[in-house]
Amino acid sequence: MSTVSLLVRDPITAFALVVVLSLFFFAATADWVAPYSYRDADLWRRLQPPSREHPLGTDHLGRDILSRIIYGTRPTLLVIAIAVVVAIVTGTLIGLFSGYFGGKVDLVVSRVIDALMSFPAILIALAIVAVWGSGLEKVAIAIGIAESSVFARLARGLVLVEKEQLYVLASRALGASSSRIIFRHILPNIAGPLIVQATFTAAAAILWEAALSFLGLGAQPPTPSWGLMLYEAKDYMRTAPHAIVFPGLAIFITVLSFNILGDALRDLLDPRFRRLMR
């Protein structure tokens, strides 16, 4: 049974899949689909409530909120892409090597990862952004670094199990080099859980970006990042709540969808579950 058909069976998961796919869709077609440009400012039209011309209202600079949310799928995807790639690559590499080779290296690395994980990660991300300067790409990398420890731990745990497996022992006996074993044999086998975690990390990355933007350290104007829209709208919360409710909803629905997807993928990976589905 193909993964996709299993996913689509359940209406809720199907919905989540649609949301995630539409992220890509809107990001690609924004120029045609969005009714206005995301940077058309008209100060005299600011903070208008939802109306015919502006279904979701206008923001503090008179820009159409619906259009900005549509264009906002681009920075969202950018953040997800960079953060997840950074987190997976650094985390998995560290976890793989640490777990496979064991010994003193593993001891030290585990300690370091434990130390960093037992600490409110937001402070680390904050410090990185404050040092480096704000900007969407930098923020995404900082998020990736902050989330990499999750992958490190995951990869390490998986490797610890895998390296006792028969096929690994056999490869070693045949004289295969360590890196060959790690990359050609172990990695494909643990890819599943990693991908599941990637979905969750994508969700987390969006929330991170919003949080950092809220502290003023996120994307730069006029980027229509949803987190930045929240930050810019929060001062007017009382008189123009629509400006903060809608971007927040966009984030909420997107993050929820990623989480639902991640859950569904995890269930699919679990052989017991697949058996149940037959």
Partner 1 sequence: MAVRREFIAAAAIILVIILVAAYLATRPEEVAPAATPTTPAQTTPTGATATPTTPVGTPTTPAVKHVEIDTLRISQRADLSSIDVQVATDAPTLSVFSHVYETLFKIEFDEQGRASFKPWLVESYKQVNETVWEFKLRAGVKFHDGSPLTARDVKASFERGPKVGGLPRILLGPVKEVQVVDDLTFRLILKYPFAPLIAHLSHPSTAIIPAKVAELFPDKPIDDIKYIIGTGPYRFVEFVKGERTVLEAFEGYWGPKPTVKRIIWYPVPDDSTRVSYLEAGRADVITHVPPHLVKSLKDKGFQIVQIPSTRVIYIGINVERIPDARVRQALNYAVDKNAIVQVVLEGAGSVATAPISPAVFGYTKLDPYPYDPERARRLIREAGWEGKELVFITPQGRYLRDREIADAIKNYLEAIGLKVRIEVMEWAAYINRVTTQKDFDLFLLGWSTVTLDADYGLYSLFRTGAPFNRMLYSNKEVDAYLDMARETANPALRQQYYALAQQLIWKDAPWIFLHYEDIIVAMKPGLVKVEIQPIERWILTYAMLEVRG
Partner 2 sequence: MLLNYIAYRLTLYIPTLFIILFVVFTLVKLLPGDPIRVMYGEINPPPEVEAALREKLGLDKPLIVQFLLYVYRIFTGDWGKSIATGEPVLELAVRRFTATLELTVASLAIATVVGITLAYIAAMKPNSAIDRLIGIVSMAGYSMPVFWWGLILILIFSVNLKLFPPGGREGLESLVLPALTLATVNFGIIARVSRAAMLEVSTQDFVAAARARGFSERRVMLAYVMRNAVITIVTLVGLRFGILMGGAVITETVFAYPGIGRMIVETGIFARDYPVLFGGVVFVALVVMTVNLVVDILYAIVDPRARVARG
Residues of the shown chain interacting with partner 2 in the complex, contacts defined by CB under 8 A: 12, 102, 106-107, 110-112, 114-124, 126-128, 130-131, 203, 207, 210-211, 214-215, 227, 230, 234, 237-238, 241, 244-245, 248, 251-252, 255-256, 259-260, 263
**Taking CB under 8 A as the rule, does residue 225 contact partner 1?**
no
As to burial, measured by CB atoms within 10 angstroms (0-12 exposed, 13-18 middle, 19+ buried), residue 224 is buried
Gyration radius (Cα) of the chain, Å:
22
- Which listed option, partner 1, partner 2, none, makes contact with residue 118 (CB within 5 to 8 Å by class)? partner 2
> Which among 260, 266, 249, 277 is positioned nearest to 17, based on CA atoms?
260
CA-to-CA distance for 55 and 73, rounded, in angstroms?
Answer: 18
Give residue for tokens 């058309």. Answer: 40
Inter-axis angle of helices 11-33 and 242-269, to 10 degrees?
A: 130
**Which residue, 35 or 216, is less far from partner 1 as judged by CB?**
216
CB-based contacts of 165: which residues, under 8 Å, 6+ apart? none
**Taking CB under 8 A as the rule, does residue 49 contact partner 1?**
yes
Q: State in angstroms the smallest separation of the CB of 135 from partner 2.
A: 15
x/- mask, partner 1, residues 107-146, rule CB under 8 A, reads: -----------------------x--xx------------
Query: What are the residues facing 58 on neighbouring strands?
Result: 64
Q: State in angstroms the smallest separation of the CB of 48 from partner 2.
A: 18
**Taking CB under 8 A as the rule, does residue 240 contact partner 1?**
yes
CA-to-CA distance for 57 and 144, rounded, in angstroms?
Answer: 33
**Which residue, 26 or 246, is less far from partner 2 as judged by CB?**
246
